[in-house]
Structure 1
């Protein structure tokens, strides 16, 4: 049986190595279309891409989509041929399976990865790769954000939370029926999530905020104060989620000479058309109805 953690909005987590252009960088029409495309991509199973941004930074991992039972394995395959220790992850996700997100988050922490929210824009016509902050990280994506050793959320990104719930009954939670076994699974997985939250250095306030929002209410978007209160954000300096290219071209001196901040596309620089607001979802992942019978395998929760 699958559980669903309802989280509001999609939050984009930008990788630690992405470059932020605070001024002077304008997204091209092509990059605008790419940013808009992620609205649909974040509804699909999560996929990982490597975005190169040499010579002034190492590059970052783009993680777009929902976490499914296949996601941890997909990441392991992606990581097998890459040196990802200390790399940054840029998140754009509606959440997904609770237990699989926990497993993935622990992999990221073991690798010392850095996390942020955003939409990666591939370079065109010789331009450098960049990240647009208009992104959403909802449900279990928020706990993936928490797995970063260093965590940064840019202005313009949206981080939203909601209660954990049975994935096959979140669309009409009030009308659905629940067995004692269902309640046992929910409580067990809340315990797992709490253990993970504290392991990652999160505050109890994060669980309190998320678990206070029922599935029939809109997801709660965390304010700047709440991002700090919950310890989801560890820095206000985007440069702290960048890693110098340790394989070749970029030296620390190079980074000092040319700030890495100039690769993030600011709110002002723009994407010709503002990104439409993402519609809050009832669940982060479509589930096959399982009724009230618990599966023999460990339950998967989703946000």
Structure 2
């Protein structure tokens, strides 16, 4: 099924109205407003803001309000931070669509009901802290009919089905596991199914593609390698030793162009900081293998300290064009030392 079809189908469903996902205290909260947010004290304009606050109830006007806010401000910030109890379901999805088209990331402080669907629009999505509360529940008609009536119209039965189909298309488009919608049915309109951090990560509700998994050991030939993958599983960091080439630290990235790696082989003269030691420019090799770009740094196992697995992040070492965006190659430290030491002691053929 093409994304063009999904997009057209989704907007066909989004013409529905009259359904809400009201979280706690929706009736008493003010409608959503947008403002600048920053860790810098007294920052109140676009030049110093590092995120956009989105506080209050999502209404039918909220998507247009957000577009107006970003159009009238020359924004440096590209993250929308939600603190919202919910609101209008369809407006929440429309807001998420705008966020995705405009390529904003999202963060959540408290984000429940309709806010949860707006949050899914973020290109990258994260919880702002360990105290974040993120909840979903079943949708309901904001102007309900008498539930004791014995007869309902065809529209009464048809509209919820169309809306659920729209939710499924929306979740698919945003790259979220459809089990999230099943979890939403566990809680009625006056309840909440809170999604914890581990569930959010498993379901791709939170999504930071450049977050690296814990280092682990995997077999390679007659030996082993240490490996860590990013959340997208399209890139990996590897530490290994071969009897022919020696020890190395390698990055494989199927989305990266080998030309970018090649232009960044040369540092500003000090060498590449790899695993707590410096690797000279001459000890770096780039290759393209099965359409995947790789760059290998050949290391002296006696000198490495396993402090971190970060590359292309130090402005004192690399020029601006070689500083990877989004902290793309800030590798994991969990399990690094143990896995790397095992791999470097077991050289493969």
- What TM-score comes out, normalization by structure 2 length? 0.48
Q: 2:82 is matched with which residue?
A: 91
The equivalent residue for 1:43 is: 29
Query: 5+ unaligned residues in a row in structure 2: which ranges?
Result: 1-16, 212-312, 317-349
Bigger RCO of structures 1 and 2 (CA < 8 A, at least 6 apart): 1
1:82 to 70, 73, 84: 73
Seen in structure 2, the aligned counterparts of structure 1 residues 69 and 213 have a Cα distance that, compared at 3 Å, is same
CA-CA distance at 1:41 after TM superposition: 10
Could you tell me whether the CA contact under 8 Å between 1:68 and 1:100 is conserved in 2? yes
Q: 1:209 to 1:2 in 2, by over 3 A?
A: same
> Residue 137 of structure 2: which of 162, 165, 172 is its match?
162
Alignment of 1:54-203 (within 5 A): 58-84=49-75, 87-118=78-109, 136-153=110-127, 154-169=129-144, 178-203=152-177
Aligned residues: 192
1:221, distance to aligned residue in structure 2 (A)? 0.8
Q: Kindly state the Cα deviation for residue 84 of structure 1 after the two structures are TM-superposed.
A: 4.3
| 1:89-131 alpha-carbon deviations (Å, 9 max, x no partner) | 110111111221111111111111111113xxxxxxxxxxxxx
Which runs of no fewer than 5 residues in structure 1 stay unpaired? 10-38, 119-135, 239-250, 255-303
Distance 1:77 1:252, change over 3 A: farther
Structure 2 residue 192 is matched with structure 1 residue 233: no
- Does structure 2 retain, via aligned residues, the 8 Å contact 1:101–1:143? yes
* 1:222 is aligned to 2:213: no
* SS across alignment from 1:213: coil
Q: CA RMSD in A?
A: 3.4
TM-score by length of 1: 0.55
Q: CA deviation at 1:183?
A: 2.3
The alignment status of 1:5 with 2:48, answered yes or no, reads: no
Relative to total residues, which structure has the larger strand share, 1 or 2?
2
- Structure 1's 81 and 107: CA in aligned 2 closer, same or farther, altered over 3 A? same
Q: Contact 1:42–1:66 at 8 Å: present in 2 too? A: no
Equivalent in 208, 211, 214 of residue 182 of structure 2: 208
